[in-house]
Amino acid sequence: MKVLVVVDVQNDFMPSGSLGVPKGDEIVPVINSIQDSFDLIIASQDWHPNDHISFAKNHKGKKEFDQVDVKGFSQTLWPAHCVQGTVGAQFHPDLKTNRIETIFRKGTDKNIDSYSSFFDNSKLKSTGLSGYLREKGATEVYFCGLAADICVYFSTKDSLSEGFKSFLIKDASKPLNEGTFTKQKAELKELGAHVISSNDLLKS
């Protein structure tokens, strides 16, 4: 079974959002165009409480993109984004969501940040995605979305470590930092992931 995981295609990650990814809106029609290539489509959604530990506003004397230590882990302080129940946390309005069977919400614990769709950053909590994919009989898992160099990257990497044949759809993902993403794509290939384009799916 071929499964598409649409990672965090939410308003706050769009260019006009509070944590905008450059040209992030350009991936929406690409994701829409490839949906028929999959047996199952699921999505992840950043879903933070307003007092989340990753928000710079919740650290007195700190500013956005500072690094702080949280229980022995380096934590980037982000602009407040994808706060539970807000418009910024909603999926982009042009994203076709009818075929999304399940949504896995992450970052819901105010004390733990969570980039991957599988686990929080400290691997203390699972979203349940791995078990869900196994029960569904997933044989190939494809990732796309935002931001490519953060949540998509960590999701793909965790998918590999969970034993799934994993694919990253590069033109259906946009990074905050292109240079970082270029290095990550090479790393993921070395780990066994397949980095493809949407055209590879549409041709098959």
Active site residues: 8, 106, 151
Half-sphere exposure of residue 179, counting CA atoms within 13 Å on the CB side?
A: 0
Report which of 166, 155, 164 is spatially closest to residue 189, judged by C-alpha positions.
Answer: 166
d(CA 12, CA 29): 18
Decide the pairing of beta strands 73-76 and 67-70: antiparallel
SS3 69: strand
Q: Say how many C-beta atoms besides its own lie within 10 A of residue 190's C-beta.
A: 8
